[in-house]
Structure 1
Amino acid sequence: MQSKDLEDGSSKKKVEQFSRRVFGRRLFKSENFTNLNAYLDILQALGEFGTFQRRLVALTFVPGLLSAFFVFDGPLMLETQPYHCYSDWLLTIQPNLTMRDLYNLSLPKRNDGSFEECLMYSPVQRDFDSIVKYGLNDTEECQKGWIYTQPEYWSITREFNLVCGKTSKLLEVRAIFITGILCGSLIIGTLCDRMGCYRTILTMMLSYAIFGFGTAFVPTFNVYKVFQFIVGMTVMCYKISSIILVSEWLVVSRRAHAVALEHCFYVLGLILFSTLTSIIPHWRLFRLVVGSPVFLLISYIWILPESPMWLLTKGKMEKAKGILCMAANVNKKVIPPELFQQLIKEEIHYGTILNILQRRPLRRTLMILFYVWFSIGLGYFGLISQGHRNKKKYGGYLTLGLLQLPVHLSCIILSEKLGRKNSQILTLFLGGFTSLFTVFVPNDMNSLELTLIILNQIGLTAAITMSFIYTVELFPIFLRQVALGFLSLTYSFSAIAILLIETVKQDQPEFTMMICGSLTMSGGFLTFLLPKKWEGKLPEEKSESPKENDDQKN
């Protein structure tokens, strides 16, 4: 009987140890960072937004220019040009035919008078006069490839002939890129914890150089798809790691400036992208031009600083103090020695998504934000898709970029005057209402429709910026990066959802706008349930007794 009790006790202890490992406690030993208050006092002493912080923002967000190229190059790389079958069999019968006569005789026409793209007349063994007199009737699929009617424009679609029965591969490429973004969202928390933001960012720079610039040399379409997956993962990993690095160098009042400026650099890349696409017609040359600046970022090895917060969590006190003193020298400030004396040596780890899900307040906040971020992403990608389809009507990417730049900057003032939460609600309502109202505008009222489209762009653009500013302040410091990574999954899901909606409702853009507007409006109402910021402290874990520790070691 006693042995049975011992076995039950041993099995119970194993279950407890297993539960601690499963729920992340082995990875997250202390949720209350002892050095946090002292670290914030040091940040205040070295200057809230001095020369060092401004330089850091510029260094960290310059690669955002490249990110815009990699996110939006799909329409340029994969855009389908006018084409039709290459049919030269008539030239063996009548070599002196002009190209116009050749096409008129060998290619079937649609009802509107244009040539069929994927069909040609079957070759016949008849003389040329009878072919002209009686014509041809039997058709077949293209046998010798296709002729593209814009010879100066060279896209991936043309190079790898992704037409007719291969058009589904165009959708496949975008899905692969989105999957890469999803995978990047999943791994970024672990990378920043194990490697630190500095090494993570440098790794992403190397990935940009190899797989971003290297895309210009891919030999096959399958290799291109692999490169697109890794580039998508790199874009998301860089975005989250750069925001985490800058936010850990700045006090709360200055984080809105950093996030807004980061989005401004991204918009500048979008504007440059629109300009270069009209100048460079070949996709490989375009990739060489936009990818070559990544090699200038090699200098980041020496000038990009690590996060002192991360160094302190790893017990690297001297390195953290050295970087903080260097920043103070650049800002021409002096950090009082007594602040350094308040720092104690401790080694802790960042949390996991399980640490959020197992606590009701954080779980509730995360679920609401997940819906809000998804609705914003759905509306934004839907807006981009409609803008690409109607470049002449809505102005395309250039207008979108020029409009976004002042909107991102205005978010700094908006967040300071109204607060993070109220600004998030306002931008969600603006984006959702204008999207819904666009559906009911008559087709002949172009000026009103254009005004609503512009307001919709303003609302959704501001909502994206505010979502990053607001979300960072809703989670404890060691759960922010895992929360941002998890919430970034919504952009992958929303992009996939837009692709599915457009596949099912190809000729009904009003349906897409109605879905996007409804979700964005409901996201605004749900935001009322969120707190203004994270103010609580998560309870410390109960320390294990020495005897229990010895049992676990055994």
Structure 2
Amino acid sequence: MKFEDILDEIDGFGPFQIAVLVLLWVPRMVLPCHFLLNNFIAASPPHRCAIGGTFGNLTEEQRLTVSIPARGDGGGPESCEMFEEPQLQLLANGSRGADPPTLRCQSGWVYDNSTFSSTMATEWDLVCDRKSLTQTTGSIFFLGVILGGLVFGFLSDKYGRKNTLLASYITATVFGFASASADSYVLFAVLRFLTGFGLTGIGINALVLTIEWVDTEHRLFISVIGGLSWSAGNMLLAGFAFLVNDWRPLIVTVTAPLGLALLTWWWVPESARWLLANGKVEKAQFYLDKCAKFNKRPKASSNLKLQKLADFETLEKKKKNYTYLHLIKTPKMRRLTVLTGVVWYGVASTYYGISLNVGGFGLNIYLTHFIYAAIEVPAKLTVYFLLGVFGRRRCQAGTLLLTGVCIITNMLLPPGLWQVRAAVAILGKGLSEASFTTVILYTAELYPTVVRQNGLGYTNLMGRVGVSVAPLILLLGDVWTVLPQVIISSVAIVSGLASLLLPETLNARLPETVDDVEKPSGDEITPESVEPPAVFLQSKNI
């Protein structure tokens, strides 16, 4: 007897499974609100040097004229420089002659508060020489995500999904609210790191709990519906940011739903799969009976049968001695490991590189973010259809290469064609989402069963590295305006080409052992229709 047989008895896709999905939708919606929060709390609005001193009866416009040099593009005063001495002659003849000496702002800055009433940049003057610190908080947050993935993955397997989920809720809630009251940049960065650490546990455990209660036939469907929580939360973030344009209350607003998650945690069931695998038969029986009752089915198998299954699962668990080293011990596994690592890094870096850059298309920042989020829904649904038509490899390569092409096209289009540039950018964002959806499915089908979890852990780590680097890439715009786009498009194209070197898995029996992967090309496994275990991945909740 297998666990799937038990699920068949009590209905592996009924009201109970839908209830679990609904209970975990709200906390999963919080993830994109925090992952992309830097778009709003770290925004740097237009600014100029604050000017002091007395200027007689001069108007404000005249004071600016004699105190701050005009930008070369005619777009107003310089943001980071002021004249060393007032240039009163500019009022008489409009010409300053030889360039007068300038210096950095001496008395702080004046900010345009028409879009944001307050951000990190305006409160702590993170502009000009210090503006890199705003993007740095994004990378620090994602470093917390990396560490959280390693720690909560271990805790989930050792202490159970439900208990670890509670720890994640508490950690993310406490440090999320605390970060809203940080009185210094350093303290804020530390608290954001810890918030990212806690949120990762929510992503891991919410997904695994949802999937481990669903039968094989409906796993792919559940993964699609569950994945839409990311898009929904991403769209809500634009609305929250529009309504709450002060950065501290905004952090509180996007963290508050975790309070509801804490209240509903009591109703979230523990994974019966995990309980049986760890010999907790009576507890597993309790949740299985609850599932059967909710689904209006007879009670689960007898305690004796469950005990036999638990003994089998425990024995199998002890037999598994595979480690991360098995990913690189043999030639084809090494090749697979390198290529999937490159693809995951490229997919994550490209997606977040686009998502964290919502300005410059002539659209309101809130509207741009909302459209970027909304395009993910049709992109996600479309690619799941195309995966069954064109295969995994073509979809993976095609979405990445086309994303790179969209970014390059945008670089070449003149700024005046902002409508066209915005349309191309939105298309690129949709394609980057499609590439993320594809890699989630594709990777799980490529790795053999005996090292699949290790393979998924490694590729998710590579994705998190790509996410952490993305905010830093955007800082290179100071060196050359289009340099971030050059790098992101190059990464997308290189990772797309790398995916062409991977084997196709459409309708192919999944490899069970390392030997299955190492077989010569002529000894490939006979293709057959198989439901892929892609849903054990963590989606973009990396």
Q: Which category of TM-score, normalised to the shorter sequence, fits these structures?
A: 0.7 to 0.9
1:75-474 paired onto structure 2 within 5 Å? 75-90=39-54, 94=56, 97-113=58-74, 114-122=76-84, 137-150=100-113, 153-334=117-298, 335-337=300-302, 339-340=305-306, 342-345=308-311, 346=314, 348=317, 352-354=323-325, 356-358=327-329, 364-385=335-356, 387-390=358-361, 392=363, 396-414=368-386, 417-418=388-389, 422-423=391-392, 425-433=394-402, 435-436=404-405, 439=408, 443=413, 453-474=425-446
Shift of 1:383: 2.9
User: Mind listing any 5+ residue stretches in structure 2 that lack a counterpart?
Assistant: 516-542
Equivalent in the alignment of 2:522 = none
Q: 1:230 to 1:388 in 2, by over 3 A?
A: farther
Equivalent in the alignment of 1:519 = 494
Matched positions, count:
494
Distance 1:309 1:360 in 2: 34
Q: 1:411 to 1:342 in 2, by over 3 A?
A: farther
Q: 1:69 to 1:102 in 2, by over 3 A?
A: same
Equivalent in the alignment of 1:549 = none
Equivalent in the alignment of 2:528 = none
Deviation track 1:66-99 (CA, whole Å, cap 9, x = no partner) reads 11110111021111112122222126xx3x5543
Contact kept in structure 1, 2:244 and 2:250, CA below 8 Å: yes
Which TM-score applies when normalising by structure 2? 0.80
Partner-residue secondary structure (3-state), 1:140? strand
Partner-residue secondary structure (3-state), 2:180? helix
Shift of 1:496: 4.6
Shift of 1:488: 1.6
CA-based RMSD: 3.5
Q: Aligned partner of 1:184: which letter?
A: G
Which TM-score applies when normalising by structure 1? 0.78
User: Mind listing any 5+ residue stretches in structure 1 that lack a counterpart?
Assistant: 1-36, 540-554
Deviation track 1:334-377 (CA, whole Å, cap 9, x = no partner) reads 23437536424337468643454456665554433222212222
Which of the pair has more CA radius of gyration? 1
Shift of 1:123: 6.2
Partner-residue secondary structure (3-state), 1:162? coil
Equivalent in the alignment of 2:519 = none
Q: 1:122 to 1:364 in 2, by over 3 A?
A: closer
Distance 2:264 2:364 in 1: 42
Q: 1:170 to 1:393 in 2, by over 3 A?
A: closer
Shift of 1:197: 1.5
Q: Percent identity?
A: 23
Distance 1:524 1:357 in 2: 18
Q: 1:422 to 1:104 in 2, by over 3 A?
A: same
Q: 1:391 to 1:259 in 2, by over 3 A?
A: farther
Q: Aligned partner of 2:61: which letter?
A: R
Distance 1:391 1:183 in 2: 37
Q: 1:499 to 1:290 in 2, by over 3 A?
A: closer
Distance 1:254 1:473 in 2: 17
Contact kept in structure 2, 1:375 and 1:523, CA below 8 Å: no
Asked whether 1:492 is paired with 2:464, we answer yes
Shift of 1:501: 4.7
